[in-house]
Structure 1
Amino acid sequence: MQIPPGKKIYFSSDNHLGAPTPAESLPREKKFVRWLEEIKHDAAAIFLLGDLFDFWFEYKTVVPKGFVRVLGKLAELRDSGIPIYFFVGNHDLWMGDYFEKELNIPTYRQPKEFTFNDKLFFVGHGDGKGPGDMGYKRMKKVFENRVFNWLFHWFHPALGMKIAQYLSVKNKLISGEEDKKFLGEENEWLALYAKRKLETKHYDYFVFGHRHLSMQIEVGENSTYFNLGDWITQYTYGVFDGEHFELKEFKG
């Protein structure tokens, strides 16, 4: 994609809407909607890099209650012609085809390459990548297993949602509470993952979420890893203007 003059690419992740309660989450949802409204005038594309919801599971004819403000705004932006790309995170990895069918927003389960103005990006949520984190990696295999997914569908939504929301908040392997401390540039596991990727191919930018820590780390010659932070306490996002990528904080 060649970014038109005056346009930008925006990136955000880790809103965890619905946590810890819908009432407490509502002000954050409204703030995110204000951000979407603010950027719509110059957005060439918007990337949502996972954990938009603290929990999401799609039954055949049922989706989680709530989130009408953000879903309505995404529908509005997409209908206006702005491309939006969604990458599932560890909290909304049970995303089905709802976004694609209802909002016309493509959904990705693995990191993906994009080229903007001759700059090569590697973009994804970031969970389960890099060294370590073996407990979560094992759990993720269970959650992504089609048999487990099929069995969970047979829970009544009222029970299934209650169980999953409890685990989403209480289970540290899912919630990521153990991963919210900066490990140092030499030990950040997504930076190490980026360095390994550079052994086989050059990327100008690696952009991930999941860590809930906004950060910028040089991982190679003319190659930088960015983490987007979150929309819980930091309200940070990434923006690429066609030449440079930077992290910003939304204060609106």
Structure 2
Amino acid sequence: MDKGRPIEIKLIPGKKAYFTSDQHLGAPNVISSREREKIFVNFLEQIKHDAQILFLLGDLFDFWHEYKTVVPKGFVRVLGKLAELSDSGVKIYFFTGNHDLWMRDYLQKELAVTIFIEEQTFIINNKSFFVAHGDGLGPGDQGYKRMKKLFTNPVARWFFRWLHPDIGVALGNYLSRKNKLISGEEDIKFLGEDHEWLIVFSKEKLIEKHYDYFVYGHRHLPMDLLIGKDKNSHYVNLGDWVTYYTYAVFDRGNLHLQTFK
């Protein structure tokens, strides 16, 4: 079931919508993260002149937790650039991922970013989009789904907030940085349409309703595949900014995957 009514967007002539995800800033270490952060900030600088909307599809940070008056240290370059884009009129939509699912209202209050914690549909220039980070969607991965329910449980979040930030953030960073995708210990391979959970999920959604584009992060593998009975719907995974430095841009009625160089 769709989460709310579709948000309708009409792009101004000459303006574009950009989609990006999985920067995992903070991992695997400060030096590597800082280098990738600068690259991503350069990307944001490049698009600021023609971007009308920027979709951030989760895991911008490898770990993020907001206490009532404290947020994780660092990331001033990317936060400053996002503030600049927002102040200049670029609309920013942020979909929480599995690494920054404890985001609350800091970016909303400081940067006027709209936060989504679940999937959302959009109509952009008469094209229909189903947008989500992608974690927990589709069949399988029951262990993660149970863990996500625990991590998003209000009682569990309340107890975690009582940890001193030095302890809570250190613990969160330790657990997040054990991610083999980020350390390079896990080789990401396409599993085939019948075994890629997000593709299976998207095909099931098409039975209910047609979407021109399904756009996800999470998988870390850039893909643009035609799916559906008539092969007229696109499954798009945005890849990441750890290995691929890929993003998607919607312009003149079409969505294209691109690599930032």
Asked if these proteins are the same fold (TM beyond 0.5), I'd say yes
Question: Any idea what SS the aligned residue of 2:143 has?
Answer: helix
Which residue does the alignment assign to 1:94? Answer: 102
Equivalent pair of 2:66/2:72 in contact (CA under 8 Å): yes
Deviation at 1:179, TM superposition (A): 8.5
Give the TM-score taking structure 1 as reference length. Answer: 0.96
List structure 1 segments (4+ residues) > 6 angstroms apart after TM superposition: 172-179
Tell me, which stretches of 5 or more residues in structure 1 are unaligned? none
3-state SS in 2 of match to 1:170? coil
User: What is the alpha-carbon distance in structure 1 between the residues aligned to residue 43 and residue 18 of structure 2?
Assistant: 11
CA distance in 1, matches of 2:247, 2:19: 6
Question: Is 1:215 aligned with 2:215?
Answer: no
- Aligned-partner residue type, residue 164 of structure 1: G
Residues 68-122 of structure 1: per-residue CA shift (max 9 Å, x gap): 0000000000000110100000000000100111110010010100111100000
In percent, how many aligned pairs have the same letter?
64
User: In structure 2, do the counterparts of structure 1 residues 175 and 219 end up closer, same or farther at CA, with 3 Å as the change threshold?
Assistant: farther
User: What do residues 191-211 of structure 1 show as CA deviations (whole Å, max 9, x unaligned)?
Assistant: 111011111111000000000
Q: Distance in 2 between matches of 1:97 and 1:244?
A: 32
Question: C-alpha separation between the residues in 1 aligned to 2:150 and 2:183?
Answer: 16
Give the letter for the 1:230 counterpart: D
On the 8 A contact 2:57/2:132 being kept in 1, the answer is yes
Structure 2 CA distance for partners of 1:242 and 1:4, relative to 1, 3 Å: same
Q: Which amino acid aligns with 2:211?
A: Y
Secondary structure of 1:184's counterpart equals coil
Cα 1:219/1:16, change in 2 over 3 Å = same
* 122, 134, 148: which one aligns with 1:140: 148
Q: Does 1:10 align with 2:18?
A: yes
Shift of 1:185: 2.5
Q: For 2:158 and 2:184, how far apart are their aligned partners in 1? A: 25
Name 1:245's counterpart in structure 2.
Answer: 255
Matched, 1:49 2:49: no
Over residues 220-244 of structure 1, what are the superposed CA-to-partner deviations in whole Å (9 max), with x where a residue is unaligned? 1321110000000100000110311
The structural deviation recorded for 1:181 is 2.5
Question: 2 CA distance for matches of 1:174 and 1:69?
Answer: 21
Corresponding pairs, count? 251
Report the 3-state secondary structure (helix = DSSP H, G, I; strand = E; otherwise coil) of the residue aligned with 2:36: helix
The correspondence for 1:74, drawn from 75, 82, 92, is: 82
- Pick closer, same or farther for the CA change 1:103–1:241 going to 2, 3 Å: same
1:200 and 2:224 are equivalent in the alignment = no
**Residue 230 of structure 1 aligns with which residue?**
240
Per the TM alignment, residue 217 of structure 1 is displaced from its structure 2 partner at its CA by 1.6
Deviation digits for residues 147-172 of structure 1, max 9, x if unmatched?
00000001000011111111112266
RMSD of the TM alignment (CA)? 1.8
Indicate the residue corresponding to 2:128 in structure 1: 120
Q: 1:249 to 1:174 in 2, by over 3 A?
A: closer
Are the structure 2 counterparts of residues 128 and 175 from structure 1 closer, same or farther at C-alpha, using a change threshold of 3 Å?
Answer: farther
Give the gaps of 5 or more residues in structure 2: 1-8
Counterpart of 1:74 in structure 2: which amino acid? Answer: L
Q: Quick one: structure 1 residues 160 and 103, their matched pair in 2 at CA, closer, same or farther if it must change by over 3 Å?
A: same
